[in-house]
Amino acid sequence: MSSDHHPVTALTREQFAERAASELEFVYGERSREILRRLQTLIDNQREALASAPKPLWSERTQLLITYGDSVVQEDGTEPLDALDDFMRTHLGDTFSAIHILPFYPWSSDDGFAVIHYREVSPGLGDWPQIRHLGERYNLMFDLVINHVSRESLWFTDYLAGSQPGRDYFIEMDPNTDVSAVTRPRNTPLLVPVNTRRGQRHVWATFSDDQIDLNYANPDVLIEMLGVLLFYIRQGARLIRLDAIAYLWKELGTRCIHLPQTHAIVRLIRALIDHVAPGALLLTETNVPHHENLSYFGDGDEAHMVYQFTLPPLVLHTLTTGNAEQLTEWAATLPPLPDGCTYFNFTASHDGVGVRALEGLLPQHDVEALLELMQRFGGFVSMKTGADGKDSPYEINITYYDALKGTRKGPDPWQSARFICSQTIMLGLQGVPAVYIHSLLGTLNDHENVTRTGHLRAINRKHWQREPLELQLEAYSTPTHIVFEALTGRLRVRREEPCFHPDTAQKILHLGPQFFAFMRGPLADGRRLLAIHNVTDKPQRLELPDGYASEEWRDLLGRFEPYGENPVLKPYRSCWLVNDAQPR
């Protein structure tokens, strides 16, 4: 990575102590001094292993692949992490600068997000040497699954037995407690009955009865998890994803989401990273309405990046209606980014397409039409329970490729073109782009996996066998070949274009509902890039807006000529126009 905009400097021990003391005092009051001493001891005991020179934050070359360690597997006995390494070296080279390897720790459910052992690699994937080997070529993102652990973890075993250290790591509550105000991302019971040596007890479980929430009111839990974070950094993590961070702190009588104590702990983690691994990046995962999501930038002192959760469902709405008005309006109202912060742009991940981010952006009838359409295209809708006890949609479970197999009129022959358009929109927007491996491979809905596992999210978590995958990549007519070649080509173009630096300014253009368009730049030398996308299934005549028509433009994607009597952008085509008249 390289960056001219944000030189990175490490927080000194004194600076870190000052910031940490402030946050710890807010959260833990009079216990804060003792907790800070323990934290500094933890750091000092590992300082030599943690020592690293500051590294730049990001550049236009910063592009992430999101994948499970076993998304590509081989039948010849090759361990999955080695198979992933070989697949990337064979087909992707340096197309991506970083890999988000989804939880590769021993787990009991939710494909990794119910962690049994935080400091181990699941034996079915490989071991730490394979992880570190991947880290020699790519920057690595690790998940810090910070809110909850598996009920099979040693900590929870301690709790059941009444033994230390886990005895006080969980939130025990009378089952008659009124928890109706608590924000729920699921429709399962919040308080889960468990049998302990002291009899039946009920513990807090935000996500499932196998994912038991940790009790951060106990500072031992915080110290334990910060130790895990330092361990990940020692193993080569350059990006840390805080999973489900919004639910971290619990306080009865509140919604138990986005509480001030949670933000204070995020600021503490940010300070710790800036101290021990300057230039490493912190990403918060908060699948909530957009304005709530943005709060995790803080004053530039919390996350370096937040997920652009509004983008996936709003792009689906845009391309299935052929109308970019809502996407244009939303993008035009994005607030300025705090210094040293940017968006984590994506359209698909291991989870479904969240719909909470559409709250206040789309009329309810449009949301309902989108949900109905996704079900027609083979997807499912997962539900959550509101404060009134009623269920409402939480996310769409579908592969992004199949989500775009048609429009509201039904399936049509434009699926691949429409899907490639969706990815091109995401790649060009201000921020750091992340591509899910099943988007890169044009993967279809895996209903067999849903049937086998009983989990709706399994529809988008296929395990590709390497040999049939290679055949799909070689066959010119397959979605896998078409999508892979198009996206890798765009990624290679993107990484060489300085206008795509995450810090480069963005201006949304209003060219009519048939287009989604924006400008990146200008750079110091005057270079600008116009990204224009036809979001309809009809050819559209394109006239460059005032202030742009007099310049000399060239399409980096090599398909569109903006001059002449009748410049037409074909259905779902995109162009990245740069003004080559300006010196680079």
Neighbours of 54 (CB within 10 A): 14
Token pair recorded at residue 233: 């950094």
Which pLDDT tens digit goes with each residue over 363-392? 999 999 999 999 999 999 998 877 677 888
Q: Which residues contact 410 (CB under 8 A, 6 or more apart)?
A: 376
Q: Which residues contact 166 (CB under 8 A, 6 or more apart)?
A: 153, 154, 155, 156, 157, 158, 159
Which pLDDT tens digit goes with each residue over 267-326? 999 999 999 999 999 999 998 888 899 999 999 999 999 999 999 999 999 999 999 999
Instruction: Write out the residue limits of the CATH 2.60.40.1180 domain(s) in the chain.
Output: 506-578
Task: Considering the candidates 210, 243, 446, 503, report the single residue annotated as catalytic.
Answer: 243
Question: Over the Cα atoms of the chain, what is R_g?
Answer: 24
Token pair recorded at residue 14: 């004194």
Does residue 503 carry a catalytic annotation? no
Answer whether residue 29 shows pLDDT above 80: yes
Q: How many CA atoms lie within 13 A of 140 on its CB side?
A: 25
- Mode of pairing for the β-strands spanning 432-436 and 64-67: parallel
Among all chains, which residue has been given the structure tokens 């370096």? 304
Q: Is the peptide bond before 522 cis (omega within 30 degrees of 0)?
A: yes
- Mode of pairing for the β-strands spanning 211-213 and 148-150: antiparallel
Q: Which residues contact 363 (CB under 8 A, 6 or more apart)?
A: none
Quick check: 169 and 218 in contact, CB under 8 A? yes
Run of H or E residues at 575: strand 574-578
CA 454 – CA 348 distance, rounded (Å): 21
Q: Which has the closest alpha carbon to 274: 233, 243, 306?
A: 233
Superfamily designation of domain 506-578:
Golgi alpha-mannosidase II (2.60.40.1180)
Instruction: Write out the residue limits of the CATH 3.90.400.10 domain(s) in the chain.
Output: 148-213
The answer to pTM > 0.85 is yes
Which pLDDT tens digit goes with each residue over 528-561? 999 999 999 999 999 888 888 878 899 999 878 7
Phi-psi region of 124 (alpha: psi -120 to 50; beta: other; left: phi over 0): alpha
Which pLDDT tens digit goes with each residue over 129-166? 999 999 999 999 999 999 999 999 999 999 999 999 99
CA 173 – CA 277 distance, rounded (Å): 38
Quick check: 199 and 19 in contact, CB under 8 A? no
Quick check: 399 and 443 in contact, CB under 8 A? yes
Q: How far apart are the first and last CA of the chain?
A: 20
Which of 3.40.50.12780, 3.30.230.10, 3.90.400.10, 3.30.43.10 would CATH assign to domain 148-213?
A: 3.90.400.10
Find residue 201's DSSP bridge partners: 194
Which pLDDT tens digit goes with each residue over 232-255? 999 999 999 999 999 999 999 999
CA 47 – CA 41 distance, rounded (Å): 10
CA 73 – CA 460 distance, rounded (Å): 16
Which pLDDT tens digit goes with each residue over 73-111? 998 989 999 999 999 999 999 999 999 999 999 999 999
Identify the DSSP state of 509.
E
The predicted pLDDT at position 6 comes to 55
Q: Which residues contact 230 (CB under 8 A, 6 or more apart)?
A: 42, 43, 46, 50, 272, 276
Q: Is the peptide bond before 189 cis (omega within 30 degrees of 0)?
A: no
State percent of the chain over pLDDT 70: 97
